[in-house]
Structure 1
Amino acid sequence: MSGLFLFLTALIVSCSIQVSSAATLDKLKEDWKLYMEECERNNSLYPPSTGPVCNRTFDKYACWPDGLPNTTVSVACPWYLPWHYKVQNGMVYQECDANGLWVTAKNTSECDSDDSRKYYFEHIRIMYTVGYSLSLVALVLALGILIFFRKLHCMRNNIHMNLFASFILRALSILIKDALLEANHTLQDFSRDQVQAFPSASSPVELLDNNVTSISCRMAVVMMQYSIMANSYWLLVEGIYLHNLLVITVFTERNYFKIYLYIGWGTPLIFLMPWVFVKHISEDHECWEQNINMNYWWIIRAPILLAVVINFLIFIHIIKILVSKLRAHQMRYTDYKVRLAKSTLTLIPLLGIHQVVFIFVTDEYTSATISLRHTKLFVDLFFSSFQGLLVAILYCFVNNEVKVSKALQF
Structure 2
Amino acid sequence: MWSHLAAFVLLLLEECCTHTVEDTKQDWEKYRDECNERMRTEPPLSGVFCNRTFDYYACWGDTPANTTTGEPCPFYLPWHAKVKEGFVFRRCDADGQWVRDDSNSTWRDHSQCETHEPEQSPHEPWILSKLRVMYSVGYGISLAALIVAVFILTQLRRLRCTRNLIHCNLFVSFILRGVSLLTRDALLPLHHNMIQGEGDPTNLLRNRTLVGCRVAQSITQYCVAANYYWLLVEGLYLHNLLVVLSFSEESVLPRYMLLGWGAPVLFVVPWVVVRQLYENSVCWERNDNYSHWWIIRSPILLAVLINFFIFLRIIRILVLKLRANQMRRSDRKYRLAKSTLTLIPLLGIHEAVFNLLPEESARGGVRYGKLGAELLLSSFQGLLVAVLYCLCNKEVQAELRRKLQGSLSSRGLFSAARPLRPPQGRPRTAEDLMSDSSEATPSAARTSQA
Q: TM-score range by the shorter chain?
A: 0.7 to 0.9
1:195 corresponds, among 200, 204, 221, to 200
SS for the counterpart of 1:289 is coil
Preserved contact between residue 308 and residue 356 of structure 1 (Cα < 8 Å)? yes
Preserved contact between residue 145 and residue 386 of structure 2 (Cα < 8 Å)? yes
Tell me how far 1:379 sits from its aligned partner.
1.8
Tell me how far 1:42 sits from its aligned partner.
5.2
For 1:31, the equivalent position in structure 2 comes to: 10
Tell me how far 1:394 sits from its aligned partner.
0.5
Tell me, in whole angstroms, the C-alpha distance in 2 between the residues paired with 1:327 and 1:138: 36
Preserved contact between residue 187 and residue 213 of structure 2 (Cα < 8 Å)? yes
Tell me, in whole angstroms, the C-alpha distance in 2 between the residues paired with 1:373 and 1:43: 35
For 2:337, the equivalent position in structure 1 comes to: 341
Distance 1:259 1:337, change over 3 A: same
Tell me, in whole angstroms, the C-alpha distance in 1 between the residues paired with 2:218 and 2:141: 23
Preserved contact between residue 82 and residue 115 of structure 2 (Cα < 8 Å)? no
For 1:247, the equivalent position in structure 2 comes to: 243
Tell me how far 1:69 sits from its aligned partner.
8.9
Preserved contact between residue 68 and residue 293 of structure 1 (Cα < 8 Å)? no
Where do 1:7-406 residues align within 5 Å?
31-32=10-11, 38=21, 40-41=24-25, 43-44=27-28, 56=75, 58=77, 63-67=78-82, 106-110=116-120, 114=122, 116-190=123-197, 193-195=198-200, 210-366=206-362, 369-406=363-400
Taking structure 2 as the reference length, the TM-score comes to: 0.68
Preserved contact between residue 222 and residue 265 of structure 2 (Cα < 8 Å)? yes
Q: Deviations over 1:174-230 (max 9, x none)?
A: 00000011111122222xx1337xx9xx6xxx87xx111111111110011001110
Preserved contact between residue 55 and residue 66 of structure 1 (Cα < 8 Å)? no
Structure 1 unaligned regions, length at least 5:
6-26, 71-100
SS for the counterpart of 2:390 is helix
Structure 2 unaligned regions, length at least 5:
35-71, 86-110, 405-450
Tell me how far 1:273 sits from its aligned partner.
0.9
SS for the counterpart of 2:116 is strand
Q: Deviations over 1:82-125 (max 9, x none)?
A: xxxxxxxxxxxxxxxxxxx9697823322x6x1x2221011010
Taking structure 1 as the reference length, the TM-score comes to: 0.74
Preserved contact between residue 213 and residue 283 of structure 2 (Cα < 8 Å)? yes
Specify which structure has the higher proportion of helix: 1
Point out the more displaced range, 340-349 or 249-258.
249-258
Tell me, in whole angstroms, the C-alpha distance in 2 between the residues paired with 1:384 and 1:147: 25
Tell me how far 1:370 sits from its aligned partner.
2.4
Distance 1:390 1:42, change over 3 A: farther
Amino acid at match of 1:263: L
Q: CA RMSD in A?
A: 3.1
Q: Deviations over 1:308-359 (max 9, x none)?
A: 0000000000000011111111112222111111100000000000011121
Amino acid at match of 1:228: V
Distance 1:392 1:68, change over 3 A: farther
Distance 1:243 1:36, change over 3 A: closer
Distance 1:125 1:211, change over 3 A: same
Q: Deviations over 1:154-181 (max 9, x none)?
A: 1111100000000000000000000011
Distance 1:406 1:184, change over 3 A: same
Q: Deviations over 1:270-304 (max 9, x none)?
A: 00111000000011111111112110000010001
Tell me, in whole angstroms, the C-alpha distance in 2 between the residues paired with 1:102 and 1:321: 58
Amino acid at match of 1:250: S
Tell me how far 1:45 sits from its aligned partner.
8.4
SS for the counterpart of 1:361 is coil
Preserved contact between residue 349 and residue 387 of structure 1 (Cα < 8 Å)? yes
Amino acid at match of 1:188: I
